[in-house]
Amino acid sequence: MKLSFRWYGESDRISLEYISQIPNMYSVVTAVYDVPVGEVWPRENIARLKKLTEDAGLKFEVIESVPVHEDIKLGLPTRDKYIEAYKENIRRLGEAGVKCICYNFMPVFDWTRTQLDKVAKDGSTSLVYYTEQLEKMDPLNGELSLPGWDSSYKKEDLKHLFEQYKLVDEEKLFENLKYFLEQIIPVCEEADVNMAIHPDDPPWPIFGLPKIITNEKNIDRFLKLVDSKRNGLTFCTGSLGADPNNDLVKMVDKYSKMGRIHFMHVRNIKILNNGFEETAHDNTYGSLDIIGIMRVLVDNGFDGYLRPDHGRMIWGETGKPGYGLYDRALGASYLNGVWEALEEERRK
Ligand SMILES: [Mn+2]
C-alpha cells in the first residue's frame, strides 16, 4: 500500500511540507487545475508540480483528476478532439512518472452533498446527504454551488446540458464510456499508466442524470468494456458504501485479487434512513467495515495507492469542505496503523 494525500497545488493552504510530515506518506495526489476541461496540460505545469512535490520528499505518481469533457460523456461528434487531448495528457503524465490517473464519468456534476457543514455533537462539522434537502435543490435555478461542481457553468449552459442528457440513458452512457476507453487504454499501455475510474457519488441517479459506476454488476460490466489491467478502479468506500446493498469487503476482495484496483479512497460514513453523514475514518464511527476492507487488501498484497478521503473539520480549522489537514491526517495515521497491525498479525 502506498499512502497518498490529495494536494490542490500551489493555491492549497495545506503545504507539501505539512503533508510530508504525516508518517509513512509516499505520494501526493494532485492535478493541473488552471487549464479548462478538455485541453492539453502544458508540460511546464506538470514539471513544476513534479519538482515541488519531489523537493518535499514526496512522489508525484497519482493524478486526480484528468476530467473528462462532457462531449465525451454525451457521445457528441466533437468528442474525438477531446479524446485526442486526453491521450496527449496521458502521454505527458506518463513521461513525468505518473502511474495512476483517477477520473470519473459522472454527467455534469462531480460528487453531490446537500450540506457541507453539518455540526456533530462534538462540534466537528462534516459533509452530509439528506434526501429531504436534496428534494429542495434545483440545479437549474443557478444559485446552487458545491465545491465538487464546475462553477463555470452559466444557467443557460446548464439548461442546455440537461436537455442534451435527456437523450443519454445508462445504456448510452456505457456505450460512450466504451468508445472512450477503447481509444485511451492502448495509450496507457504504451505510457505505463493505469486508469482508475471513480465510482459515482452517491451511487444513484440525481436530478434525472444517469449513473453507471454504482454497484458490483455494473463494475463487472465496466471492467469488461476493455479487458485490460490498465482499465481499473478507484475504489471509493464512501461512495459505493452509501448504498447498503454494496458488499464492500466482498467487492474489494474480488477486484483486488483481479489486480484491477489501482487506487483506494478510504473513508467512513454513517448510513441513515434519509441519506448519510460523513464521519471520522475509524471503524466504530460509521457504518462501513473499514478494518474488514483493509484486511482483504493486506491479504491480497495490495500495492496500489491508498488515500484518506474526505475528513471532518476539527480543531477550528477552516477551508475546503472535506479537505482540511487535521482530520485527513488523523485518517491517514489511522489507516496506516490498521495496515501495520494487520500485516504484523499476518506475519505471525
Ligand atoms: Mn472518493
What are the start-end ranges of the E strands in the chain?
2-6, 27-30, 59-64, 100-104, 115-119, 125-130, 194-198, 231-236, 261-266, 269-272, 275-278, 305-308
Out of 213-217, 269-273, 317-321, pick the least confident: 317-321
Please give the residue that has the higher pLDDT: either 247 or 110: 247
Q: What is the pLDDT of residue 143?
A: 58
Which residues neighbour 109 within 8 Å (Cβ) at sequence distance 6 or greater?
139, 146, 148, 149, 150, 206, 207, 209
CA 237 to ligand 1 center in whole angstroms: 7
Distance in angstroms (rounded) separating the CA atoms of residues 331 and 337 = 10
pTM of the predicted structure, to 2 decimals: 0.95
Chain mean pLDDT for the chain: 94
For the stretch 3-49, pLDDT in tens is: 999 999 999 999 999 999 999 999 999 999 999 999 999 999 999 99
Q: What is the pLDDT of residue 142?
A: 60
Determine what percent of the chain is predicted with pLDDT higher than 90. Answer: 86
Q: What is the pLDDT of residue 25?
A: 98
Whether 117 contacts 313, CB under 8 Å: yes
CA 200 to ligand 1 center in whole angstroms: 9
Please give the residue that has the higher pLDDT: either 245 or 151: 245
CA 155 to ligand 1 center in whole angstroms: 27
Q: What is the pLDDT of residue 309?
A: 94
Q: What is the pLDDT of residue 152?
A: 63
Q: Cell numbers at residue 44, please?
A: 511546464
Q: What is the pLDDT of residue 137?
A: 81
pLDDT at 268 over 90: yes
CA 145 to ligand 1 center in whole angstroms: 19
CA 191 to ligand 1 center in whole angstroms: 25
For the stretch 73-102, pLDDT in tens is: 999 999 999 999 999 999 999 999 999 999
Residue 343's domain is classified under what CATH number?
3.20.20.150
Whether 302 contacts 1, CB under 8 Å: yes
Q: How many domains does one find in the chain?
A: 1
For the stretch 129-142, pLDDT in tens is: 999 988 888 877 76
Please give the residue that has the higher pLDDT: either 114 or 177: 177
For the stretch 177-212, pLDDT in tens is: 999 999 999 999 999 999 999 999 999 988 889 999
Q: What is the pLDDT of residue 109?
A: 85
Q: What is the pLDDT of residue 317?
A: 95
DSSP SS3 for 51: helix
Q: Cell numbers at residue 153, please?
A: 457553468
Where helices occur in 2-104 by DSSP H, the ranges are 16-20, 43-55, 70-74, 79-95
CA 55 to ligand 1 center in whole angstroms: 27
CA 105 to ligand 1 center in whole angstroms: 13
Residue 329's pLDDT band (cuts 50, 70, 90): very high
Q: What is the pLDDT of residue 169?
A: 94
DSSP letter for each residue of 230-291: TEEEEEEHHHHTTSTTS-HHHHHHHHHHTT-EEEEEE--EEEETTEEEE--SSGGGSSS-HH
Q: What is the pLDDT of residue 144?
A: 59
CA 148 to ligand 1 center in whole angstroms: 11
Average pLDDT over residues 58-66: 97
CA 265 to ligand 1 center in whole angstroms: 5
CA 35 to ligand 1 center in whole angstroms: 22
Distance in angstroms (rounded) separating the CA atoms of residues 177 and 171 = 10
Residue 339's pLDDT band (cuts 50, 70, 90): very high
Task: Report, as residue numbers or ranges, the catalytic residues.
Answer: 198, 236, 265, 309-310, 323
Please give the residue that has the higher pLDDT: either 161 or 230: 230
pLDDT at 161 over 60: yes
Q: What is the pLDDT of residue 159?
A: 87
